[in-house]
Chains A and B, each alone.
Chain A
Amino acid sequence: MTTNTATSEPSTTIPLAIEAIGIVKSFPGVLACGQVEFDLREGEIHALLGENGAGKSTLMNVLAGLYRPEGGIVRVGGRTVDFHSPRDAIAAGIGMVHQHFALVPSMTVAENVLLGLDRPRFRLDLRQTEAEVARLAEEVGMRVEPGARIWQLSVGEQQRVEIIKLLFHGARILILDEPTAVLAPQEIAELFDTLRAMVAAGRSVVFISHKLAEVLAIADRITVMRAGKVTAASLDPHGITRSELAHRMVGRHVIETPARKPVKTGRLVLSVVDVSATNDRGRPALQGASLEARAGEIVGIAAVAGNGQSELAEVITGLRLCTGRVTVNGTEVSARPPSVAIHSGVAHVPEDRTGVGSAPNLSMIDNLILRGFRSAPLAHGPFLDARASRTKAEGLRGVYAISTPTIDAPARILSGGNLQRLILAREIDTEPTLLVAVQPTRGLDVGAIEGVHQLLLGLRERGTAILLISEELEELLALADRILVMYEGRIVGSFETPKADNIDEMGLLMTGGAEAAPEPASAQPQ
């Protein structure tokens, strides 16, 4: 193992846009940043790499003025600064685009841009602002509609608004937190072009990500963080392999998902025929979507956020009304309450773990019996059997390795990974006919992700049909027998035996850039 193979030349001549030394930041129960050092040169794209929970967002939030560190020094352009709020950071020329956009949905683009400014001090002139925004957007080659309300825009467009906003405020340093999570491959390419253009014009960019390929493609330098510490600083992307990077990120190599065993697909379990539905805003989300899933197969749905995949899951599990027909094992579940789907053997691992999938203040036991509490052995008539509930909960905790000191504590103290284990335990324990899993590994660390993949594959081998909706194309390729691409509420492409070389075509379909797929959307039984 060679020492510091790939570090860049130390910068004695290149001016530093940002210098952070000895940053310490903690939260209840966790040290998010422990004596972290980081610097950003002017005119560079510096990638900050690490898996979920490594501390990269926290570090950047400190630089952006959102958090105050308990220790350490920050210098911007050579001057020591002490940010008390994001305003101070913006004044120093630092702007951050977060994973969850800091946009007010009910206000227009122009109003959102105005929000952080000091001028005009009192009276607003929206028309003038809209003109200025349009002008700036054109200057940097982005397309924005200044009068549109944020909720009307697609996720990619909203991201553009965020960047425009920062530029409008005079940001010279841009920090982007996982910007590609919500984009399709073509949009990612566009974003990279924009970043290169901005950097050529003299700005500096910090690019936070956990995706190795992207980081190697865009970065001038790479710094890796793990568990609150920097494990590798100032790496040169040209002199390092993905494997080595992964090693610095997690201490071992990339996610190892066991290979899929060939499984005989069985009878038709899920049938979705010409289903249409509106989203929470009343806009059409599903527009005549159709698909099928059979026992023993994992059907993957690839889509950019906001193209109807969330609504698809809700329609199948009874959480959203629709027109058209959804049947599970022959029983119609469309436009019926969730209890019908549940009785037909549908299990659901929802996108929103704390908002839908669990009751945060109830005990873990209460959360684990959520599916089984209506009948024996957990209930006799109207009465719950507390001891049986506890036994069941203890059993599940052991089998699914839910790490917690006690199962009587409220579910909210569980980490993301353990909460997901709880939800999976509960859902899989029902031996479902169909499992609808939406973004099941979002926000989890590598160990947890591997665990989830194993569980899903095990379920598949036991004959459950699984509908896997995921943003991570790599995950879909590893797990899914078939991959369907959704765009604007329809199935626009289908890949019967998906391979890595299909990624480009998938990306094209995900952004509406190609004709509908030549193959039909249902699989033939093998």
Chain B
Amino acid sequence: MDLTLILAAGVASGTILLFAAIGEIFAERSGVINLGVEGMMLMGAVAGFSIAAATDNPWIGLVVAMLAGGALSLLHAVVSIHLRADQVISGLALTFLGTGLARVLGDGLSGEVVTTLPRITVPLLVDVPFVGAVLFREQSVLTYVGLLLVPVAWFWIDRTRPGLHLRAVGERPAAADAQGVNVARTRYIYVFVGGLLAGLAGATITLAISPGWFGDQTVGGRGWIAVGLVIFAQWSPMRAVIGAYLFGAIFRFIIDIQGVPAILGVNNPFSAGRSATFFLEMLPYLFVIVVVIIGSREALRRRVGAPAALGIPYVRGERGI
């Protein structure tokens, strides 16, 4: 149970959650809540995996995966933005649809093997004590993409004009509209970005971190964990990365601790094959609950929190007077 190994694996596994969470942050900051992340991730996972297997090229699989997620998200976008339907139900429908479609498309895929995306060790940075071994040794190329995505996302949201528009649309769309910002188009774009990133997250699983297709278990609820992470992150990419890597570490820890024969001299009740391991499996999900509680209380206390217009369809004032 080497700490650096656990953390390194945590970073790798956390990258999956990171992509999905940042994607959802973009969507929610524009005012649209998309609960279909699990479905989009599954579609990305199966699409990426099957295309990569068919073409023997994981990069093409990656692109297709992202587009699959994006395409699904557009369905939610049309229903939520143009048809002004209830965004919660629409997101759930997307999950069902994505899950079902993924099962259908993934039929017969288990057992397939693909070339995964390359792993890289960054030459100079890897020698930095502790941090270097965790972040820069033999990490999938996607992990580095994730690391870069965080500051880029933050900069985009906080310091650019498009980011200003994004924030305005999510907080007070009427004001943005009056200033000439196209609310509907902005929301479409960011929901689509959320879908692209969710698809990317799914592909990260099947093409990089845990290659293979295992039906619904491939994603195993991580889409939902990502949604919870967004609340914990208070809609900020910087906090999201902390949560994502933390969860990644927990997932890794759960696996690792099952291999240890004894803890502090006592027989390990959680060793693999014993029924108590099921309590370990509960851990990530219980942790999400804790994390969401913390996020909610903080939002209440700081009087900040969710984008003010989240989940509310925008209708240009029709009666005017």
Contacts and interface: CB of A to CB of B under 8 A. Distances in A.
A and B held together in a complex: yes
Interface stretch (B91-99, B179-187, B265-273): B179-187
Given A121-B161, A122-B160, A106 B179 contact: no
Interface in A27-71: 27-28, 32, 52-58, 61, 65-67
Given A86-B179, A116-B180, A124-B164, A58 B320 contact: yes
A121 B175 CA distance: 19
A102 B303 contact: no
B171 A105 contact: yes
Interface in A73-113: 85-88, 90, 96, 98, 100-107, 111-112
B320 A105 contact: no
A382 interface: no
B178 interface: yes
Interface string B148-190: 0000000000011110110110011011111111100000000
A387 interface: no
Contact of A102 (B165, B171, B179): B179
B160 A123 contact: yes
B321 interface: yes
Contacts of B181: 115-116
A525 interface: no
Given A101-B175, A115-B164, A61 B180 contact: no
A66 B317 CA distance: 10
Given A66-B316, A104-B172, A111 B178 contact: no
A115 B175 contact: yes
B318 interface: yes
Contacts of B316: 66
Assign chain A's interface to a size class: 35 or more
Nearest to A62: B320
A281 interface: yes
Contact of B161 (A57, A107, A120): A120
The winner among A56, A61, A104 for most chain B CB atoms within 10 A is A104
A381 interface: no
Contacts of B182: 85
Nearest to A64: B178
B321 A104 contact: no
B319 interface: yes
Contacts of B165: 115
A114 interface: yes
A398 interface: no
Contacts of A106: 167, 171, 304, 308
A66 B304 CA distance: 30
Contact of A90 (B162, B172, B180): B180
A107 B172 CA distance: 10
A262 interface: no
A282 interface: yes
B175 A103 contact: yes
Contacts of B174: 100, 102
Given A27-B320, A57-B321, A107-B171, A86 B161 contact: no
B320 A104 contact: no
Contacts of B161: 114, 120-124
Contacts of B176: 104, 115
A116 to B, nearest CB: 4
A105 B172 contact: yes
Contact of A86 (B168, B171, B180): B180
Contacts of B318: 27-28
A102 B178 contact: yes
A86 B178 contact: yes
Contacts of A27: 318-320
A27 to B, nearest CB: 6
A67 to B, nearest CB: 7
B141 to A, nearest CB: 27
Nearest to A55: B321
A86 B167 CA distance: 19
A114 B165 CA distance: 10
B321 A107 contact: no
A54 B320 CA distance: 11
B317 to A, nearest CB: 8
B319 A281 contact: no
A393 to B, nearest CB: 25
B159 A107 contact: no
A104 B179 CA distance: 11
A114 B162 CA distance: 11
B167 A107 contact: yes
A38 B162 CA distance: 37
Contact of A107 (B162, B168, B180, B303): B168
A128 B175 CA distance: 23
Interface in A121-145: 121-124
Contacts of A57: 320-321
Nearest to A89: B180
Contacts of B160: 122-124
Contacts of A32: 320-321
A66 B181 CA distance: 11
A124 B157 CA distance: 11
A115 B172 CA distance: 12
B308 A58 contact: no
Given A87-B179, A122-B161, 6 more contacts: A66-B316, A102-B174, A107-B171, A114-B164, A123-B159, A124-B164
6 closest A-B pairs (Cβ-Cβ)? A87-B180, A102-B178, A116-B179, A102-B175, A104-B172, A115-B179
5 contacts: A57-B320, A58-B320, A104-B171, A115-B164, A124-B159
Interface of A: 27-28, 32, 52-58, 61, 65-67, 85-88, 90, 96, 98, 100-107, 111-112, 114-116, 120-124, 281-282
